[in-house]
Chains A and B, each alone.
Chain A
């Protein structure tokens, strides 16, 4: 399986600021996804990061709040904008070789907003 890294691994931020999370994979993959895991909760898909085009967002998530970039087949970023304490979560990226393939997850970014 692919080796996936995320930066930063954790951060503490002030409300009203923005944080950009990076996801890097060691091989080219077709699919990259961003998930949110709120404290003590399950994972919820934020969006599918599409290479060369705008991300596809799930219901309840909007581009202005969670802008996503995917400049190539090995890298993506998720920005959490204008943060509030409710944004405190673990943010995970996942990758898959294609739409039908198994997803593998990065180690996650633990975000605390004060």
Chain B
């Protein structure tokens, strides 16, 4: 069945460091791909999305490119801030089914 695999956390970085969180997926057809972020004690917020191959989603300095050839959607940010400390979830959706399939989440801690 369809699935999402994320790199294991936690990830600890210093402020202004470069961030990569790997995400790969297994799915038939052409899923849409998402990154959601969960700040401590809060619900999920949509961070960015891409709906077709080679699309790049971006928001708040974060970027991810939909790579169909490698079935990947890695999250990157050039310079992280303490306020980026959160849990990041990669997810896929197939329109015909409507529901989201999530990875296990990667906890990011950014130290000043």
A residues with a Cβ closer than 8 A to B are 1, 31, 33, 41-45, 48, 58, 92, 94, 96, 99-100, 102-108
Contact = CB atoms under 8 A, between A and B. Distances in A.
B89 A96 contact: no
A68 B45 CA distance: 24
Given A42-B104, A43-B89, A45-B99, A102 B46 contact: yes
Could you say which interface size class chain B belongs to? Answer: 20 to 34
Contacts of A44: 102
Contacts of B96: 99
Contacts of B34: 102
B102 A103 contact: no
B100 A107 contact: no
B100 A106 contact: no
Nearest to B44: A105
A107 B105 contact: no
